[in-house]
Amino acid sequence: MKYSLIDTNIIIRFLVETPESIPTKFQGVFSFFDKVERAELCVQLPELVLFEAFFVLTSLYKVPAPQAAETLDQIVAFRGVLMQDKPLIHACLTILKKDKIDLVDAYILSVSRRKSIRTVYSFDRDLKKHGLELLAVE
């Protein structure tokens, strides 16, 4: 099956617009995501695009991080969304839904748990609070 990449602006339009308020040139996003949800259309969603969408939602649109994570997790779960490692991304978004932590730290925690890595070179105390041992940079 052929598939294409998806960019952040498509995701953002889908999440912040309504069918009543969306400009005409963007109206296709709703039927587009219906097709992706049913896997009638498959798209490759790069992790960086997902992370940018999280950043835009939380910083520009002031969506609370847990809500942004929940919404993006629902999109990741669409049958037509292809990602390099969906379970890892689900784990990262789950951390963001539950804990007040930034996105990259949630990703680091997800990777560390997946690979059973218990140490990290970092000055970030949030990682220590979540069970990682901070290693000194010498």
Put simply, whether the predicted model's pTM sits higher than 0.75 gets the answer yes
State mean pLDDT over 115-132.
Answer: 93
Considering the domain boundaries, does residue 93 fall inside one?
Answer: yes
Residues of the chain with pLDDT > 90, as a percent, come to: 88
Q: Flag whether 83 is in a domain.
A: yes
Q: Is 111 exposed, middle or buried (0-12, 13-18, 19+ CB in 10 A)?
A: middle
User: Does residue 50 belong to any structural domain of this protein?
Assistant: yes
Quote the domain boundaries for residue 24: 4-100
- Whether residue 126 is contained in a domain is answered as no
Q: Is residue 125 part of a domain?
A: no
pLDDT at res. 1: 63
Q: Cβ–Cβ contacts within 10 Å for residue 48, how many? A: 9
| pLDDT, tens digit, 9 for 90 and up, residues 112-123 | 999 999 999 999
Question: Residues 43-61: pLDDT tens digits?
Answer: 999 999 999 999 999 999 9
CA dist 11 and 81 (Å) reads 12
Q: pLDDT band at 92, cuts 50/70/90?
A: very high
Residue 96 lies in a domain: yes
Residue 74: half-sphere exposure toward Cβ, Cα within 13 Å: 10
CB of 83 closer than 8 Å to CB of 47: yes
Number of domains in the chain: 1
Is residue 116 one of the residues assigned to a domain? Answer: no
Which spans in the chain are helix H?
8-16, 28-37, 47-55, 65-76, 86-98, 103-114, 125-129
At residue 21 the predicted structure's pLDDT band, cuts being 50, 70 and 90, is confident
Any domain includes 123: no
